Chains A and B, each alone.
Chain A
Amino acid sequence: DAGVIQSPRHEVTEMGQEVTLRCKPISGHNSLFWYRQTMMRGLELLIYFNNNVPIDDSGMPEDRFSAKMPNASFSTLKIQPSEPRDSAVYFCASSFGQGSDTQYFGPGTRLTVL
């Protein structure tokens, strides 16, 4: 299995621009998680989906952030407009279940907003 796939691996953009991060979960997994990691705030859960339905988006920082999962094999995290404080590594993870099941993380997208 290829594991969780994320693209792009690196993104550098200017403040105010729209950023779209993409994730392909492991086939057969029915839960998908988006995390953000920074030195200051650590690893934060932004949102998670179960069977393509958003279950908990309480971690989404503000309306500038949105996430979709149109089908079982694809999800996007969009930031519009982006701000320098959004600079972080964004991880996507998937698991077979939504509870304590092992979460398999993708390689992450390193976002830099200038």
Chain B
Amino acid sequence: GQSLEQPSEVTAVEGAIVQINCTYQTSGFYGLSWYQQHDGGAPTFLSYNGLDGLEETGRFSSFLSRSDSYGYLLLQELQMKDSASYFCAVHRAPNTGGFKTIFGAGTRLFVKA
């Protein structure tokens, strides 16, 4: 079967570092993406990992370990505007053909002053 798990909520203080984990179980896996969504807004792309290791984009980094079926999003120097929901998304190529993107349930990040 397929599963995608991430924590439902995380709270951190401004200026801190927070890590949002994502574990997955799926066939045909080939990559993991992260999206950010503010209340009332649309999801926006943050990062993608196709290979094991760390990808860094400014204050945000994302990590993937294919052997552990695990990834995380790291947010540094937290700002109030980072309060949002963060989704991990698994990309897979089913045996039936085509491609499929499956989004996790999302992690709601609260940044406190």
Find B103's partner among A42, A50, A98, A104 (CB 8 Å cutoff).
Answer: A42
> By the criterion CB–CB under 8 Å, are B103 and A56 in contact?
no
B104 touches A105 (CB 8 A): no
Given contacts A43-B87, A56-B98, contact A102 B45 (CB under 8 A): yes
- How far is the CB of A33 from the nearest CB of chain B, in Å? 7
Most buried by A among B33, B45, B93, B97: B45
Q: How far is the CA of A102 from the CA of B41 in the complex (A)?
A: 17
What's the interface size class on A, roughly? 20 to 34
Chain A contact residues: over half helix, strand or loop, or mixed?
A: strand
8 residue pairs of the A-B complex, CB under 8 angstroms, read: A44-B103, A56-B98, A98-B99, A100-B30, A100-B31, A105-B43, A105-B44, A108-B42
Which residues of B are interface residues toward A (Cβ below 8 A)? 30-31, 33, 41-45, 48, 50, 87, 91, 93, 97-106
Task: Give the B-binding residues of A (Cβ under 8 A).
Answer: 33, 35, 42-45, 48, 50, 55-56, 91, 93, 98-100, 102-108
